[in-house]
Amino acid sequence: MKNVYYFYETIFGRIMIGSDGKAVTFIKTVWNEEPIGEMVADALTDTAAQQLEEYFAGKRSRFDVSLHPHGTVFQKSVWKALCDIPYGETRSYKQIAQAVGNPDACRAVGMANNKNPIWIMIPCHRVIGSSGKLIGYGGGLEMKQRLLDIEKIK
């Protein structure tokens, strides 16, 4: 299958969604990036974009497109643990480190969150500091708070 990507406009600005024809491989915000090569949407990128719009509108709490993030074994274990955080709930970096069987790996969990290639669908925005404060989000803490507000997390 051919890898494809397409730009979509959302309430959070322009995003790029990529697919390998079997699963979504990345979702990222793009600020001033111009397409490289041919942009092509497929059923997966279109479905992911539609599901994100429903999520942003508060009409979707689960995503059901196939995801295939590329990363290390540790990163993938963290991303799986993130997907296990229920909608409307948060976990601390320490709780995620414990969930992946490495309770001393809080910083490594933070780095895995930072490398999360599938924004929102792998919900790294649901990970907060042990104190309950918002810390560490690639899109900025304001965006993290907006995403948590969608889920009504205080």
Active site residues: 124
C-alpha span between 121 and 139 (Å, rounded): 14
Q: What does the angle CA 46 – CA 50 – CA 52 come to, to the nearest 5 degrees?
A: 115
CA gap 57, 80 in Å, rounded? 25
Q: Note whether 66 and 110 are within 8 A (CB).
A: no
Residues forming beta bridges with residue 29, ordered by sequence position: 15
Cα–Cα distance, 24 to 66 (Å, whole number):
6
User: Any idea of the CA torsion for 38, 41, 45, 47, to the nearest 10 degrees?
Assistant: 170
SS3 147: helix
Question: 110 is written with which tokens?
Answer: 């933070």
